[in-house]
Structure 1
């Protein structure tokens, strides 16, 4: 792709959780500064990036995006009222207790802007 040829990028890269042992979800691509530099290269000045990330790993992706040269503008959280925690049940004095909180928010989104040439 040509430099500065894209107005916006919307992407949902792997959350890098190693979901069910799947290689596609443990590739490291979401944390690749080189990948995000390439996105920055093809974005027009002032163009926007919206990248979805997992609640446990979005911070690593955000750092890579910022390290690539983007300015992080906003964070958007998907809020929802239902969900089941992945928990371990406790025994003994704590029988009936679990080790996780009920999830109440989902994927975080990063809105970043390409400031080069603006």
Structure 2
């Protein structure tokens, strides 16, 4: 049976259609609705908000990144509650966020019913931007993580680092806000081998690539057709490489 599936559609209705208690982990990177302090800032395109001038236009843009704080909290609580429903008991929930949205995401995770257990820090390295010399670098993003009920004692791996260092490489970046595949491989480690990972905001498929490379299965949901196509191509390649004999089979 094929170890991955990519669903092209909106996250919340697709989650509503999934059976309960069917996945081992949700690991995702939703739109942050961040990038500024005003409504006008948030309303800019993600490419304008998050990409340095010389790199703009390199990757397809995406929508759904301009919610205000109230609507963002409500929306996140809704899809997180559905993620909780489809998780198996003891399953892991992990969601990326940045420093601006960290408070609202921790609220949303708890409002959605996840047992919040902590933060994992992604250290992007000292090449991260700072507006000027008066700033600390915006060097880290965060993974808000928890479980559906009690956290199981694992036998296959663990414990896991609470701070993961991984730089963004151009040859591994396929999305405006793409995360390094090496980072995602660290995040899938708690999932039992052969387990099923769900990413309702799959983007360019890095969560799925890491899952397949690590001997797990994957379901992704992505609303943007351009990124759904990129994901399918990357997942098919990762599936081929993970077979005995790799790409030669």
TM band (smaller chain): 0.7 to 0.9
1:63-78 equivalences under 5 Å are: 63-78=107-122
2:126 is the alignment partner of 1:81:
yes
CA contact (8 A) 1:71 1:113 kept: yes
Write the deviation string for residues 29-55 of structure 1: whole angstroms up to 9, x where unpaired. Answer: 753211111010100010001111112
Q: Which runs of 5+ in 1 are unaligned?
A: 88-97
- Is the Cα contact below 8 Å between 1:75 and 1:110 reproduced in 2? yes
Question: In the alignment, is residue 11 of structure 1 matched against residue 56 of structure 2?
Answer: no
Structure 1 counterpart of 2:243: none
Shift of 1:61: 1.2
Q: 1:72 Cα deviation (Å)?
A: 1.0
Kindly provide the CA deviation profile for residues 66-107 of structure 1, in whole angstroms up to 9, marking residues without a partner as x. 1111111121112222323225xxxxxxxxxx6x51315321
TM-score by length of 2: 0.38
Runs of 4+ in 1 over 3 A off after TM superposition: 27-30
Would you say 1:103 and 2:137 are equivalent positions? yes
Q: Tell me which residue corresponds to 1:39.
A: 83
Aligned to 1:102, what secondary structure does the other structure show? coil
User: Which of structures 1 and 2 has the larger relative contact order (alpha carbons within 8 angstroms, sep 6+)?
Assistant: 1
| TM-score, length-scaled by structure 1 | 0.75
Size of the alignment, in residue pairs?
Answer: 106
2: CA distance, partners of 1:55 / 1:17:
9
What SS does structure 2 have at the residue aligned with 1:24? Answer: coil
Q: CA RMSD in A?
A: 2.4
Question: Counterparts of 2:66 and 2:43 in 1: how far apart (Å)?
Answer: 10
Q: Counterpart in 1 of 2:44?
A: 21
